[in-house]
Amino acid sequence: MELINKSHPEEFILLGFADRPWLELPLFFILLITYPLAMVGNITIILVSTLDPHLHSPMYFFLTNLSFLDMCYTTSIVPQMLFNLGSSTKTISYLGCAVQLYFFHTMGGTECLLLALMSFDRYVAICKPLHYTLIMNRQVCILLAFTVWLSGITYAVSEATVTLQLPLCGVNELDHLLCEIPLLIKTACGEKSVNELTLFVVCIFMLAVPLCLILASYACIGHAVLKIKSSEGRKKAFGTCSSHLIVVLLFYGPGISMYLQPPSSITRDQPKFMALFYGVVTPTLNPFIYTLRNKDVKGSIGNLVRSTFTSKR
């Protein structure tokens, strides 16, 4: 490890896959393809949900928030990854690392809670259909979304600020592709058991509790759907919920494996692959999962494309 004379270096060297340089070029091209796909897919969801009056419902309001989150999520890490993978300089300034830490964890924490909120919306729609418009009115949806965003920001600011206070004893090499809280805790010197315990407790509330609420919601949804006599009604209900459930599994699985264990026990390559999964793969797949499994969204995209070409004639 290269040491410098200050606890906090002016810049970090992100080692990434320096020990396996043959991985860097394929990964660079994968990111170069997936990043625009993620942007286009999520922008499309936002556009059709905003422009089509038929999609002005709580479900698509929350889906718009999710798409915006995913755009910010990938943008907070992928450009830096592309720059480092495409050049011999694999550094990030200390300020850049701090900014990335705040943005990445704000979006990640907010998405944890937003996915739980979306499952609650589906629970009310299927289990309380007669009271749905009353319970999930516009004011309530805006208030819930605001609370989720505020909670995500509070989590990121508090946890990242505490982590950045840890002494690094001059270490300026991070064995990762980005700046992430568990890795910085693991890299820090001195006593850090309190930070590990704090991160674990906070992540219980940000990951485990929302996931339990999601699973409880879907248990109630499954019970209600099985009572629907119409096979077409059951199919529509399962189709609407299955897209969200797939997104939940893709996001929470890697997140739990990364954050609900002590940073000191994290293996060397685990942070890199987990970050690529929940920071790149999941946000890229989300809009396509919702599009391919949702007739309303597909129909709205078709109408938007047809109206765009028609207006150009």
Residue 137 has pLDDT above 50, yes or no: yes
Residue 292 has pLDDT above 60, yes or no: yes
- 171, β-bridge pairs: 3
Which of 97-111, 195-209, 251-265 has the largest mean confidence?
A: 97-111
How confident is the model at residue 237, as a pLDDT? 66
Residue 34 has pLDDT above 80, yes or no: yes
Compute the average pLDDT of residues 37-64: 88
**pLDDT band for position 107 (cuts 50, 70, 90):** very high
Q: Which residue has the higher pLDDT, 298 or 157?
A: 157
**Range scoring the smallest mean pLDDT among 142-146, 180-184, 236-240, 286-290:** 236-240
How confident is the model at residue 14, as a pLDDT? 86
**pLDDT band for position 4 (cuts 50, 70, 90):** very low
How confident is the model at residue 152, as a pLDDT? 94
Token pair of 146 as six digits: 């605001």
Give the Cα-Cα-Cα angle 112, 118, 123 (nearest 5 degrees): 130
Place of tokens 């897209």: 243
How confident is the model at residue 7, as a pLDDT? 60
95 burial (CB, 10 Å; 0-12 / 13-18 / 19+) is: exposed
| DSSP string for the chain | --B-SSSS-SEEEE-TTTT-GGGHHHHHHHHHHHHHHHHHHHHHHHHHHHH-GGG-SHHHHHHHHHHHHHHHHHHTTHHHHHHHHTSS--EEEHHHHHHHHHHHHHHHHHHHHHHHHHHHHHHHHHHSGGGHHHHT-HHHHHHHHHHHHHHHHHHHHHHHHHHHTS--TTB-EESSSS--HHHHHHH--S--HHHHHHHHHHHIIIIIHHHHHHHHHHHHHHHHHHT---HHHHHHHHHHHHHHHHHHHHHHHHHHHHHSS-GGG--SSHHHHHHHIIIIIHHHHHHHHHHHT-HHHHHHHHHHHHHHHHHH-
How far apart CA 119 and CA 181 sit, in angstroms, is: 27
How confident is the model at residue 36, as a pLDDT? 93
Tens of pLDDT, residue by residue over 157-204, are 999 999 888 887 777 888 888 888 888 888 888 778 888 888 888 888
Whole-prediction pTM = 0.88
**pLDDT band for position 140 (cuts 50, 70, 90):** very high
Residue 145 has pLDDT above 70, yes or no: yes
Which of 39-43, 173-177, 301-305 has the largest mean confidence?
A: 39-43
Going along the chain from its start, the domains and CATH numbers come out as 11-302 (1.20.1070.10)
Residue 2 has pLDDT above 60, yes or no: no
10 burial (CB, 10 Å; 0-12 / 13-18 / 19+) is: exposed
